[in-house]
Each structure stands twice: as structure tokens, then as C-alpha cells.
Structure 1
Amino acid sequence: MTSTTVRHRTDRRRRAGAGVIGALVVALTAGTVGGAQAAGRLPAPNAASLRASIAGLPNGHLTSAVVLVDGRDGRWSGTSGSGDLATGRPVAADGRFRIGSISKVFTATVVLQLAAEKRLDLDGTVQQYLPGTLPASYPPITVRELLNHTSGLPTGGDFGDDGSAQWFVDHKDEGWTPQQVVAEAATHPMQFAPGTAQQYNGTNYYLAGLLIEQVTGRSYAQEVEQRILRPLALRHTSVPAADDTRLPHPTAHGYLTVSTPDGGTRQADVTEQSPWPWAEGGMLSSAPDLDRFFTALLGGRLLPPAQQAELFAVPDVPNVQNPNCDTGPVTGRACFSTGLMRFTTPDGSVLWGKTGSRPGYSNGVFATRDGARDLVYSLTPTSREGASFAAQYGIAAAAFDLPALPGH
């Protein structure tokens, strides 16, 4: 380990991801970060705890970890494990990884910027901006309902994916267009009336990406580049072309464990794979770039005040996917805002962030709203279920001075 002290899936995988998210919320709410946050200060990052949170890699579940903790109370970065099992090269702290659903935060930011420019209305409907895209039988669905997952739209199908590691290894270069994803989802009935509940759903963000292209007349990639990547000098962040399976300068190679004919197992390299999740989950970035992006976003550099407020506006509706989306007085209620996710502790303190994963990569970005501290991590799990809750919580606990999990 080295360290420096100085910040579209199948329904089965959606459920697995939701479980990790829900568990993380529950565990975060078991902590007592509130006192330090309320005072606007946190202790300096605990280097020993952070090193311990990613020690012992590679192991049977993870091959590497990259962690960056930043904020006005101090900075720490560290790596662990192997960047390439074949060559033994070290992990690159500034390398790129597949950020998965953290892409949604970029998408939401662009949509909010377009709203600020009066080029779209958050209360305008998908049917208004993308006529003919959804079945005529569907009720009106607003742009805001897409972004905060209260649309009630059905989730997409599996396109033949059985959820196994071997299936993904065999099909990792294949993909589907956003139009195909939305069209397949639209063969199913609505899940609930728009605005009455919240269900985390990638279909919403494929539509948000298509909306960006319809309103601007430019590609989603061009809009993200012009509005976010260039102004913030995020040189290691990109929206790959649909047929570009490469991951330039990776933090580490991603692997999945698959069976061999002799009854054993091997680690199949899935670093190169289709970026077809696109505006929902197909982007590439690095820990330093995500740190810079999140700091700018929470600091109000990317959005005017009215749209900045939308980032923290969580609808007061039930969460139908995960009853533990939040705890305390809002148990079972929505926890996703317009692009972010809220973590509420029993004493009322709040963290804001987003998780994201693709096969071979599990990532997260979390922060205190006041900028006292933010955390970026990327792990390389060898299961399609992603990194375990315990592994992710251990890093968050070290970064935000939370209590350890019982039995860990």
C-alpha cells in the first residue's frame, strides 16, 4: 500500500445496487458525525484509519482500492492492491475508472444548467420535449420527476443478461442505444403515478440524456464537455463514444471471477467494456477529477442559487424500492434529490453523495454539504454484485470518523 497525507443494469443488478445503497444509509445513520459537522469542523483525516480501511489487497473479493479524502480540514490519498494482476504494476492514484451511476450527477447538472438558461422547464414534461418517445397511455411526466426518480416509469429489461459474471465476460463489448433501452422499458406498465413515490431507476437518466440532446441540438458528450469538463479542467473525465471500449490510464484493471473447465476459477479482465450506459452510467473519471467536480458543484460554482437548491430538494414521498432509504423521522421516505442522494443521521446531520458501479468497478463520492470534507473512492471487486457493504462502509467510516460496524 502507498499513501500520501496532505479529497444500465438488469433488474437483478439494480436491486443489488439498491441494497448496498440502503445499507450504506443505514450504517451512516448509526454514526454520530453530527457534532463535528454542526460545528463546521471535522478532525484532520485519520491516516492510520484510512490506511487500515483499504489494507490487505488484493484479496478474494477486491483487487485494488483508490481513496481520496479532501476538504478544508485536510487531505489524504492512498491506494492498495494491484493495478494489474498480470504484471503486478501498482495502482495509479490519479488513474481513470468507470464511474457508473455517478454519471447521473453530471447529467443532472447539465439539465439544471439548461433550466437556469430557460431552455427547458423542470415542470415541463417528457412528452413535451421528446414527443412520441413514451407510449400515449403513459401520464405526463415532468423533467424534475425524471431527475429525482419519482417518474413511476418502468425499469428496463435485461437484454438476455442472466446476471452472471460469465455472461458479462462473453458480452462485455456489446451494448444498446439509449433509444433501445427506453423503447424496451416502455413495453412495460407504469409502476406508480408520477410524483407519488420514489424508485431509483436508470430509465429516467437515459431520457434525461436524450432530453439534453433534443433541447441543445448537440450530443450529450459535447454538452458535458463544454459545460463541466472544460471549465473545471477535468482532463481525465470523459463520455466515451458508444463503440469505444478502452479505459485509458486506469487506476487498476477490473476483473470478474469466472469458472474454468477444470472446476477452478480465474480472473477475467473486464477493464475494456462497452460504455453503453451513457448518461445513466457510462462515464470515465478519476479520483482527483471527481473531487474537483464535487467541490465545485456543492460550492455553487456550476449552478445559480435556484438550481443549486434543486440539488438538495428531496421529495417527501415514500421510497418504494428500499424502505431504509433514510432513517430517523424519515424512515422509508425518499432520499434522492435532483441528482444526489441524502444520508441523514439520527441527530439531523446530513451527507450528500452518489454511488456508481460497472462490472469490475465500485465507486462512491460523499461529502458534507458545507464542504468540510469529501470522499472519493474506487474499488475493483471481482463479483458482479460489486464491492461489499462492509468494504465501502469501512472507507466511509474512516473518512468521516464514524463508528466501526459491529463485528468488524
Structure 2
Amino acid sequence: MDPAELNTAMEDVRRAGIPGLFAEVRHGGQVWRGAAGTADVATGRPITADMRHRVGSVTKTFTAAAVLQQVESGQIGLDAPIGRYLPKLVPGGRGDAITVRMLINHTSGLAEYLPYAYPSLKAFPALADTGPQSLDDHRLTRFDPTELIELGVTAPAAGPPGGTPGLYSNTNYLLLGQLLEQVTGTTAEECITRNVIERAGLSDTAFPAGPHVSGPQSRLYEAWFGMIDPPRDYSVFDMSYAGPAASLTSTVADLNRFYGLLFAGEIVNRSSLTQMRRTVSIISQESKLIEYGLGLHPMEGPGGGTFWGHGGTVWGGGTLSMISADGKRQMSVAVNLQRWNRLGATGRPQPHPIDDALAAFYRVAMRR
């Protein structure tokens, strides 16, 4: 690793328009941590690499690992129908046709509940007719996961169970949370905390009990495609709308430790890890066709070689954590601005210098 090159690439992201970002890169026994910019644009408080951060859908890898642990112990069948466990939440023929695996890899055909929970995002991700008003309306709303699941299950299906390409849908992971609760007798958050977070020794990773994040943190600025100008702080937000799909808080150091242990076979066994890396084609929330496994997705590294991990966004915050297939190189990065791209005439996000600067940082961080 070249610390000077990493620092320069990080500063380039800040200069492109991100208020603040921080990251940790590991290669073998080497560790680099860096930060650039501010955690609070009003006070100029600097951002630091040890801050806690809402990591969004990176949570899905933790949830998938917890489910696979139950598969290993015989409590859950990976290819068993979800209706066997949750007949009231996914009733009838769909409950018989949708398997646990289909929930984890987003091929269930279940719709995304988010546009129904946040009415002003009704067209998301077709963004031309959306607005940010629901974000303010629901800052402190405490959602019931079963009500959110019902919104996704009763919405028009995105496709047939098992069909590809699948559709990335948080409904799947709320159902996995209810599945964990059903078979363990504890909440999904308690199960994941005990069996994944504590098992991995992640002292700065937790499900927040309310709308606040404990410990040192940055404010999170949401631009909503230029509709919020200047970007507004959403660092205080009740994450019950996401639950085991996207509500974890963590640090870049904890994320790298987690993925390192996962790929070393210390969170789930090697057979489960092989299952996690079996991919199918799905349509992402950005309407892009991607490959997706069981709570993991692959990403091509610079110069060849595959990295595995997950990205995540919340209102105002973004995270990406990736590890090389052999486990030797890792990168976790967090930013405190989201949806910086303005919309063009077609209603789709337009290119922004931040996109290129972040891509350049990823190339430096993942280069081996």
C-alpha cells in the first residue's frame, strides 16, 4: 500500500464535493486509516477514521450470516419454503414457492415496501416524480416490521419466485428477520448481535435502540438529487424502517474485521461461505443488472481479481466494504453525503465529479 497515494485519492473525493469521508484499507498485516473533510459543515468539526456510521445494507451480510448459522444447526432449511416458517406473513402458494434462499439472494419476486412506507418516494427508483417530504415526516416514526412486510407482499409482484433477474428488495430481509425470530425465540437484532457481532468481537457495531447513534459520529447530509439544497442533516433518524435489512451502525475497522473473519470461515463454515458466493442476476435499487449471492455481491478489482462484500446507503450516509477473494486485501469506506447527482431531463441521475473521484479511490484501495 502507498499511504500518500491513498491520502491523495481521498482528498480528491473531498474536493469533488463530499463534505467528509473516512476509510480503512488492509493488506496482510498492513493497515492504513485515513479521513478527509468535515463531520459537521456548520462547525467545521473534522471527520476521523474511528467514527461510527450508519452502514445501511451492509447489514444484509450480517443477517445472511445469522440465517446460515441456523441452516448449519438444522433449524432452517436453505431451500425450504418460507411458508413453512411464516405462513401468516407469506400465505398460500407464494409461501410454498418462495424459499429461504430466494429471500437471501433477492429472487423471491417480492416487491420493495419502501415506496409504500414513504409515500413521497412513490416512484423510487424512477425518480422524476419523487420528493423528500416523507423523510422529514418519518424521522422519528417507529415502524412495525410486519406491517412493512405486508406492504411488500401485497404490492404487485416483481416477478415469479426464483425467476431471474431478481429484484433487490428489502422486503426479503425483513422476512429473514422474522424468520430468525421464529426459530430462535429472540429478536433478529438480538440473534445477530449474539451470534455474529459478539462472536466476531466487533465492539463498535450495534443496532441502535432509537434514532440516535452512540459514540463519535459524523452528521449525515442528504441532497435527494438536488431537491434538498443545501443538503439537510438526517443523522438523527429512526431506522426501524430498515431493521435487519439496513439499520446497523459500525466503524470501518469493525467492517474489515467482520469480512476478514467471514472469509476465514470463522463466522459461518466453508460450505456456507461457498453458498454465499453462488450468484444470480438481480436488478439493483439503481436499476442496474448485478450479480448477487447470499448477502454478498462481487466487484471486479483493478487489474483483475474479484472482491466480495456489500454497499449500503441511508438518508445522508453511504458505505462500501469489500474483501479480495483470497482475503488478503480489504477496503471499507464511509461518506457523509448521499444522492448528490442531480436529475436530467429523463429523470435519471446525471454524472457528477464525486462518482469519478470515488471510483478512483476504490481503484487505489483495492489495487494489489
TM-score bracket for the superposition, by shorter chain length: 0.7 to 0.9
2: CA distance, partners of 1:144 / 1:121 = 9
Q: Which has the higher contact order (CA 8 A, sep 6+)?
A: 1
2: CA distance, partners of 1:320 / 1:102 = 17
Equivalent residue number for residue 15 of structure 1: none
Equivalent residue number for residue 225 of structure 1: 193
| Superposition deviation, residue 247 in structure 1 | 1.3
2: CA distance, partners of 1:183 / 1:80 = 42
Equivalent residues of 1:99, 1:284 under 8 A apart? yes
2: CA distance, partners of 1:363 / 1:264 = 21
Q: Of 59, 62, 65, which aligns to 1:106? A: 62
- State the TM-score, normalizing by the size of structure 1: 0.77
Equivalent residue number for residue 86 of structure 1: 42
What secondary structure is seen at the aligned counterpart in 1 of 2:58? helix
Equivalent residue number for residue 306 of structure 1: 271
Equivalent residues of 2:132, 2:228 under 8 A apart? no
| Superposition deviation, residue 254 in structure 1 | 0.8
* Unmatched tracts of structure 2, length 5 or more: 122-129, 342-348
Is 1:179 matched up with 2:146? Answer: yes
Equivalent residue number for residue 83 of structure 2: 127
What secondary structure is seen at the aligned counterpart in 1 of 2:361? helix
* Unmatched tracts of structure 1, length 5 or more: 1-44, 327-334, 403-408
> Structure 1, residues 306-331: CA drift from partner, whole Å, max 9, x if none?
2121121113xx535588645xxxxx
| Superposition deviation, residue 220 in structure 1 | 1.1
Q: Structure 1's 324 and 338: CA in aligned 2 closer, same or farther, altered over 3 A? A: same
Is 1:149 matched up with 2:112? Answer: no
2: CA distance, partners of 1:238 / 1:265 = 31
Equivalent residue number for residue 247 of structure 1: 213
1: CA distance, partners of 2:86 / 2:338 = 39
Q: Which amino acid aligns with 1:280?
A: A
Q: Which amino acid aligns with 2:144?
A: T
Superposed, 1:341-380 pairs within 5 Å as 341-344=297-300, 349-380=305-336
Q: Which amino acid aligns with 1:274?
A: D
1: CA distance, partners of 2:295 / 2:55 = 15
- State the TM-score, normalizing by the size of structure 2: 0.85
Q: Of 123, 135, 149, which aligns to 1:168? A: 135
| Superposition deviation, residue 301 in structure 1 | 0.6
Superposed, 1:3-402 pairs within 5 Å as 45-55=1-11, 61-72=17-28, 74-138=30-94, 140-156=97-113, 157-159=115-117, 160-162=119-121, 163-197=130-164, 198-241=166-209, 244-257=210-223, 265-276=229-240, 277-315=242-280, 318-320=281-283, 325=289, 335-344=291-300, 349-381=305-337, 383=339, 388-401=354-367
Q: Which amino acid aligns with 1:400?
A: M
- Identity within the alignment, %: 26
> Structure 1, residues 61-104: CA drift from partner, whole Å, max 9, x if none?
42100111013163211000011223222212111100000000
Equivalent residues of 2:12, 2:357 under 8 A apart? no
Q: Structure 1's 296 and 356: CA in aligned 2 closer, same or farther, altered over 3 A? A: same
Q: Which amino acid aligns with 1:233?
A: G
| Superposition deviation, residue 390 in structure 1 | 2.4
2: CA distance, partners of 1:264 / 1:101 = 23
Count the aligned residue pairs: 343
Which 10-residue stretch deviates more, 109-118 or 87-96? 87-96
Equivalent residues of 2:302, 2:366 under 8 A apart? no
RMSD value over aligned CA atoms?
Answer: 2.7
Q: Structure 1's 357 and 202: CA in aligned 2 closer, same or farther, altered over 3 A? A: same
> Structure 1, residues 320-356: CA drift from partner, whole Å, max 9, x if none?
5588645xxxxxxxx1001100124798731111100
Q: Structure 1's 161 and 125: CA in aligned 2 closer, same or farther, altered over 3 A? A: same
| Superposition deviation, residue 267 in structure 1 | 4.2
2: CA distance, partners of 1:271 / 1:345 = 32
Q: Structure 1's 59 and 175: CA in aligned 2 closer, same or farther, altered over 3 A? A: farther
1: CA distance, partners of 2:228 / 2:247 = 32
